[in-house]
Amino acid sequence: MMSEPTLPREIRCVLVPAGDLRLLLPNATVAEVITLPTPEPVTDAPDWLLGHIAWRGWRVPLIAFARLAHAGEGDPELTVRVAVLKAVGGDPALPFIAVLTRGFPRLTTLNPELIIPAHDGAPLPAGVRAQVLVRDDMAVIPDLEWLEAELRRLLPQPA
C-alpha cells in the first residue's frame, strides 16, 4: 500500500509587486528579475499584453498583470523591472512569461497556516486564481494556466 506523498511544511515563495497587487508565487517559478527592455509590440493585442521581450535567446511575452486584473498601476516613483516566470503548462512554444513589476520581489518562507483565503465572494479578476492574506500583506495567486492559455490564443504561433 502506497502512502500519501508528504508535502513540504514550508514553501519558499516570492511576493512580486505588480501595480497595486502583490503576486504570490513559488520561488522556483521566478527565473530572473531584469531591467525593462523595450518590448516588440504585438498587433491587435489587449492593453495588458505589452509585447515580446528578448531574454536569453527567447522571445518572451510581457504582460502588465495590474492592467489584466483591473488594478492600479502602482507607485510611479518605483523603478519598473520585469520578473521572468517559468511557464507551468509545458508548452515548448511558451516556456516563459514576463511580468511588469515595480520595486523588488520579496522572498518569504510560508507554511499553510500563514496563507489565509481572503476572497469576499465577488468574481475574481481575470488571471487571478485566489486572493489571500500572507502575514499582513494582501496578495493574489495568479492563474498561470489561464494566462498561458490566453497567450497561446492571442499570440501567433511560429511556423
Residue where the block lists cell 504570490: 24
pLDDT at 67: 93
Domain boundaries, the chain: 14-117+126-154
Cell matching residue 118 = 481572503
Query: Would strands 58-63 and 96-102 be described as parallel, antiparallel, or unpaired?
Result: parallel
d(CA 24, CA 11) in angstroms, rounded, equals: 11
Q: Please report the pLDDT score of residue 5 as a whole number.
A: 59
Q: Which three cell numbers stand for residue 13?
A: 515563495
Question: What pLDDT does residue 59 have?
Answer: 94
Written as one letter, the residue type at 65 is: F
Adjacency order of strands within the sheet including 128-134: 106-110, 11-18, 21-26, 137-142, 128-134, 115-117
Q: Which residues of the chain have pLDDT under 70?
A: 1-8, 157-159
- Domain 14-117+126-154 fold is OB fold (Dihydrolipoamide Acetyltransferase, E2P) (2.40.50)
What is the Cα 57 distance to its own chain's centre?
21
pTM here is 0.87
Burial 84-105 (b: 16+ CB within 10 A, else e): bbebebeeeebebbbbbbbeeb
Q: Could you tell me the three cell numbers for 67?
A: 492592467
- pLDDT for res 89: 87
Per-residue pLDDT, 1: 52
Is the Cβ–Cβ distance between 58 and 77 less than 8 Å?
A: no
Measured from the Cβ of residue 24, the count of other Cβ atoms closer than 10 Å reads: 23
What confidence score (pLDDT) does residue 158 get? 59
Q: Which residue has the cell 492571442?
A: 154
Instruction: Give the pLDDT of residue 4.
Output: 59
